[in-house]
Amino acid sequence: MAVDDRGIVVGITTYPDISPLEGPEHDAQEFYEWLTSSTGGDVPPERVDKIVSSDFQPVAPAAPARLPAQEVAQAFDRLHSTALGMTGIPKRLGRRLYVYVAGHGAALPFTADPERSDAAFLVADATKFNATHVMTKVRALYFLNAGIFDEIVVFMDCCRIPLNRLVPSYPSYVDANAIDAAGNERRAFFAFATKWGLNAREKPFNGSMRGVFTTALMSGLKGAAANHDGAITSSSLRNYLVNHMKDLLTPTEQADPEIPQHPDIPPPAVELVFATVTPQRVSVSVSFPAQAANQLIRMRGDGFTVVARDQTVPGVPWVVPNLPRGGYLVEIPAVGLEKAFTLIGNEGTVNVALP
């Protein structure tokens, strides 16, 4: 187990006068279950601070509702206090800190964040005129730069529309906003649901409203983003999300410039491993026209290397089993037919038709 890893997981659906959301709590719960699973993040549940809206609703109609307005910042503050202890000098708490937040968000104005590298996560008492928020990335980076954790991983499923008069709410920790203190080789991974200036999206999946980014994220973390050896790394997860989050959108949604098709994930400086799964394999069935019968057929994979070859049989599809995820090209050179395709890794069987 990742016994000294820790996590902060947040899903906020309800705000005083901002439109409610339906997906964040479901999304946070699924991430929490992955994070604490032995086949996922493998973090002991007692080392994960989970904050969701339903935990703060009234227990009776007349009871006042508790709002997780300060709970998010306080989760970081508790870690900070634990690290400082009695000495007041930060000590190492563990290998990795995971932070996942889902809810409403905003972006800092360009002057406050010239690199457009953060998002303000709105906490549950935020209103249209009082954008109470937590600068999640800055808070997480403090724990890395101070040596409290060796690595940090931050997932933010929230909007990044700039609020021009928003003043960043930085924590009061010493050097908390010195985000470059650890140099360029920071062992950090940041993933935002959308690029700066766009809204994140939620939509129904299997009858439940979910965040598009988190739905793709969880698919990747559960195996779709695995390398050929089954390792899910920061690079393989980034590649999967950048290339395949858009697959969850309809053609109409993909044509809408206001709907993000790609998350914002800086290339990781250092490779991190999130989980290792049994490599998923896919069978491919290739159909071809009659004029391609009795001809050499080949399939190429990474580096244009031939991974399978055979002779076509009239009227019978060519089946290639047990292919790992990745990009492929199937070709029948004698008749000039070829087609490229990509395997995500969770399709089971894929049918490819040569024209």
Q: Judge whether residue 146 has pLDDT over 50.
A: yes
The predicted pLDDT at position 280 comes to 75
Residue 288 has which token pair? 């071809």
What does pLDDT average to over the chain?
89
**Helices (runs of H) and strands (runs of E) counted in the chain:** 6, 19
Alpha helices per DSSP H over the chain: 24-35, 71-84, 136-145, 212-219, 234-244, 251-254
The predicted pLDDT at position 324 comes to 84
DSSP-derived 3-state class of residue 77 = helix
Residue among 9, 99, 2 at smallest CA distance from 41: 2
User: Which pLDDT tens digit goes with each residue over 239-271?
Assistant: 999 999 999 999 999 999 999 999 999 999 899
Give the lowest-confidence range in 64-78, 215-229, 326-340: 64-78
User: Which pLDDT tens digit goes with each residue over 157-188?
Assistant: 999 999 988 888 888 887 766 555 445 457 99
Domain 282-353 bears CATH identifier 3.50.50.60: no
Average pLDDT over residues 314-324: 93
CATH number for 6-276: choose from 3.40.50.1460, 3.40.50.10800, 3.40.50.280, 3.80.30.20: 3.40.50.1460
The strand ranges marked E within the chain are: 6-11, 48-52, 94-102, 105-106, 120-122, 133-135, 149-157, 188-192, 202-205, 208-211, 231-233, 273-276, 282-287, 296-300, 306-311, 318-323, 326-332, 337-343, 349-353
The predicted pLDDT at position 177 comes to 62
Residues 6+ positions from 324 with CB-CB distance below 8 Å: 228, 279, 280, 281, 282, 343, 345
- Nearest-angstrom CA–CA distance, 241 and 212: 11
Q: Judge whether residue 145 has pLDDT over 80.
A: yes
* Domain ranges within the chain, ordered by starting residue: 6-276, 282-353
User: Of all residues in the chain, what percent carry a pLDDT higher than 90?
Assistant: 66
User: Which pLDDT tens digit goes with each residue over 210-244?
Assistant: 999 999 999 999 988 988 888 999 999 999 999 99
Q: Judge whether residue 209 has pLDDT over 90.
A: yes
The predicted pLDDT at position 355 comes to 87
- Nearest-angstrom CA–CA distance, 330 and 353: 10
Count the neighbouring beta carbons within 10 Å of the beta carbon of residue 182. Answer: 15
Q: Do domains 6-276 and 282-353 have the same CATH topology?
A: no
The predicted pLDDT at position 66 comes to 53
User: Which pLDDT tens digit goes with each residue over 5-30?
Assistant: 999 999 999 888 899 999 999 999 99
pTM beyond 0.85: the answer is no
Name beta bridge partners: 283.
349
Residue 89 has which token pair? 């000098």
- Nearest-angstrom CA–CA distance, 99 and 141: 11
- Tallying the residues shown for the chain, one arrives at 355
